[in-house]
């Protein structure tokens, strides 16, 4: 019997020491109260550490005597509840530590009998960190909600079943459904019927782990409004997970206005292209047909001169002026014809040796080069480019001819032609040491008939650079000038690499008789109905 008593005693001691260890090692605060007196009988080290007081500062005190830790009214109320119900629970109770700061605790207590004494065990958990995280989360959620609800774009979230679970004000504005009408409904509500199959198969593919065609990309699509009207949309979509559930959030923008503007621009561009083609045809036909009567005027003036050798000097001078005017007009018409021919006649593109085009242009200008004692330097490494040989010859020839024409009277003309790689192809430069151009004319000189000098000073039509511009643009490049007046000019132009450009498609009309001789070599043609007889 004594043996049994001993072993029971041992077991008790063992169990007691186990519980004490638990009490002492617990990572929650534990406080034992006498239920009758409210006196604190024991506190564990964790609670002591949490509150910052010593064991003796807490133990043996009545609960409401810890006014510096817990509000006295609250502790009295709590004690009353405990005595009445044997249980209290506070989810969020502030305790004051010895260091003066507050910690939020979760407070649960139970009362039980121990050796006929009613004991209350209070478990106290510090939830300050949890509260801080919760507050942060709440703040973030509030901020997120504020952003979502005031966003200019529609923000719609669907779950893996394709049902709408989140809907903001802009989505309401775009689609016409209120949040209550939209949330819970399938997203196909917002998609025109003809795209439903595509939507279902896309969603299934993604959920089966397949490729996501929309994720992270901006895609244009068509939406369906509550009033059944379709609306052009731009959407960027993001997939996200929450507890292994998949959601898709789309940021949706109504692009009706942009689309309308695009359509307007397209229509205007088409109109403009048509008008341009018509204008070019008009310029071509007009300049081509103008040459015929001009040739006639000149021819008959010559006949008149020949038939009247006895004319007085003044009349002869008048006739010479008239002929000169006709010749000049023919020059202008020819230049116009040349301008309107760019991109129309023999405009096939190929691989062109730019060195060859430059050599041909220089050879065509041999007479002028020699007469002006001009020194033309061409860099060695001229590239192969994609373009039209004849047009490039004409381009270099116009630029070099101008460089000779506008040479400085006080120095030997030097012209340098070189080329460098540029972002999308080649950049050429024709540089001279001539009279230069004032900055304010840098753009104007490329316009048709824009001349900076009188005919008496420099002969010309004002069309040469307009032709250069048209040729360069026909090749997909651009042309500009840099100049230092009185020191020289540098005309630069680019020719993009193959593939970067395609020759513009221009209709060929009235291009059959390009080989018309210039007026000086023409013989007069008698009109069918009237005019002097030869």
> Which residues of this protein are in contact with ligand ADP, per CB under 6 A?
402-403, 406, 432, 434-437, 445, 450-453, 460-466, 489
Contact 494, 424 (CB under 8 A): yes
**Strand 154-159 to strand 40-43: parallel, antiparallel, or no bridges (unpaired)?**
unpaired
Contact 248, 257 (CB under 8 A): no
Separation between Cα atoms, residue 28 and residue 56, nearest integer Å: 19
Minimal distance, residue 378 CB to ligand ADP, in Å: 17
φ/ψ (deg, to 5) at 104: -95, 130
Nearer to ligand ADP, 385 or 435 (CB): 435
Nearer to ligand ADP, 162 or 460 (CB): 460
Looking at the Cβ atoms of 437 and 472, the one nearer to ligand ADP is: 437
Q: How far is the CB of 404 from ligand ADP (least distance, A)?
A: 8
Helices and strands (H, E) in the chain, number of each type: 14, 17
Contacts of 418 (CB under 8 A, 6+ apart): 378, 379, 428, 429, 431
When the beta carbons of 44 and 433 are compared against ligand ADP, the nearer one is 433
| Nearest of 16, 93, 95 to residue 52 by alpha carbon | 95
Structure tokens at 203: 């969603």
Closer by beta carbon to ligand ADP, 228 or else 454 = 454
**Tokens at 402, concatenated:** 């101008």
Tell the smallest beta-carbon distance from residue 433 to ligand ADP (Å).
10
- Beta-strand ranges (E) seen in 262-373 are 350-353
Q: Which is nearer to ligand ADP, 182 or 395 (CB)?
A: 395
**Minimum distance between the CB of residue 338 and ligand ADP, rounded to whole angstroms?**
12
In the complex, minimum distance from the CB of residue 460 to ligand ADP, in angstroms, rounded to a whole number: 3
What is the rounded CA–CA span in Å between residue 386 and residue 407? 31
- Least spacing, CB of residue 374 vs ligand ADP, in Å: 12
Nearest alpha carbon to residue 415 among 404, 405, 427, 428: 404
Continuous segment of H or E residues that includes residue 224? strand 218-224
Whichever of 64 and 441 has its CB closer to ligand ADP, that residue is: 441
| Residue 122 or 362 having the CB closest to ligand ADP | 362
To ligand ADP, the closest distance from the beta carbon of 484 in angstroms equals 11
Whether the Cβ atoms of residue 437 and residue 481 lie closer than 8 Å to each other = yes
**Minimal CA–CA distance to 428: which of 375, 494, 329, 384?**
494
Q: In what order do the strands lie in the sheet with 102-114?
A: 40-43, 29-34, 117-126, 102-114, 87-96
Q: How far is the CB of 530 from ligand ADP (least distance, A)?
A: 36
């Amino acid at each position: 019997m004594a043996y049994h008593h001993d072993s029971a005693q041992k077991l008790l001691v063992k169990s007691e020491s186990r519980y004490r260890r638990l009490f002492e090692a617990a990572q929650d605060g534990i406080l034992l109260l006498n239920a009758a007196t409210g006196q604190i009988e024991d506190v564990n080290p964790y609670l002591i550490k949490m509150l910052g007081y010593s064991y003796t500062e807490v133990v043996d005190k009545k609960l409401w005597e810890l006014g510096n830790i817990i509000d006295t009214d609250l502790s009295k109320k709590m004690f009353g509840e405990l005595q009445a119900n044997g249980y209290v629970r506070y989810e969020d109770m502030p305790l004051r530590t010895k260091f003066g700061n507050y910690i939020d605790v979760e407070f649960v207590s139970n009362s039980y009998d121990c050796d006929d004494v009613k004991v209350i065990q209070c478990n106290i958990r510090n939830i300050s960190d949890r509260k801080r995280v919760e507050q942060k989360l709440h703040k973030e959620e509030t901020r997120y909600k504020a952003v979502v609800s005031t966003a200019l774009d529609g923000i719609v979230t669907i779950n893996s079943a394709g049902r709408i679970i989140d809907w903001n004000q802009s989505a309401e504005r775009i689609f016409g459904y209120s949040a209550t009408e939209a949330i819970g409904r399938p997203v196909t509500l917002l998609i025109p019927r003809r795209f439903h199959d595509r939507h279902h198969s896309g969603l299934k593919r993604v959920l089966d782990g397949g490729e996501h065609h929309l994720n992270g990309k901006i895609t244009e699509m068509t939406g369906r409004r509550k009033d059944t009207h379709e609306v052009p949309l731009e959407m960027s979509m993001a997939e996200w997970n929450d507890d292994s559930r998949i959601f898709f959030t789309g940021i949706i923008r109504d692009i009706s206005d942009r689309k309308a503007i695009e359509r307007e621009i397209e229509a205007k561009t088409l109109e403009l292209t048509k008008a341009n083609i018509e204008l070019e045809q008009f310029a071509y036909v007009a300049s081509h047909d103008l040459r015929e009567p001009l040739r006639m005027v000149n021819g008959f003036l010559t006949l008149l001169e020949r038939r009247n050798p006895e004319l007085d000097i003044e009349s002869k001078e008048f006739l010479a002026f008239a002929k000169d005017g006709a010749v000049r007009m023919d020059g202008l018409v020819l230049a116009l014809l040349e301008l309107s021919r760019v991109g129309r006649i023999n405009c096939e593109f190929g691989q062109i040796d730019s060195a060859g085009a430059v050599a041909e242009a220089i050879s065509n200008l041999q007479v002028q080069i020699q007469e002006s004692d001009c020194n033309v330097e061409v860099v060695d490494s001229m590239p192969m480019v994609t373009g039209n040989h004849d047009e490039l010859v004409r381009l270099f020839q116009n630029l070099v001819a101008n460089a000779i024409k506008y040479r400085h009277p006080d120095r030997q003309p030097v012209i340098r032609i070189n080329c460098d790689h540029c972002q999308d192809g080649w950049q050429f430069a024709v540089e001279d040491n001539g009279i230069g151009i004032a900055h304010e004319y840098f753009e104007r000189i490329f316009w048709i008939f824009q001349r900076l000098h009188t005919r008496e000073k420099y002969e010309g039509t004002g069309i040469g650079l307009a032709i250069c511009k048209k040729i360069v643009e026909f090749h997909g490049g651009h042309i500009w000038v840099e100049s230092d007046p009185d020191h020289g000019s540098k005309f630069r132009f680019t020719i993009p690499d193959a593939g970067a450009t395609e020759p513009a498609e221009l209709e060929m009309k009235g291009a059959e008789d390009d080989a018309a001789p210039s007026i000086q070599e023409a013989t007069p043609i008698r009109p069918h109905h009237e005019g002097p007889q030869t």
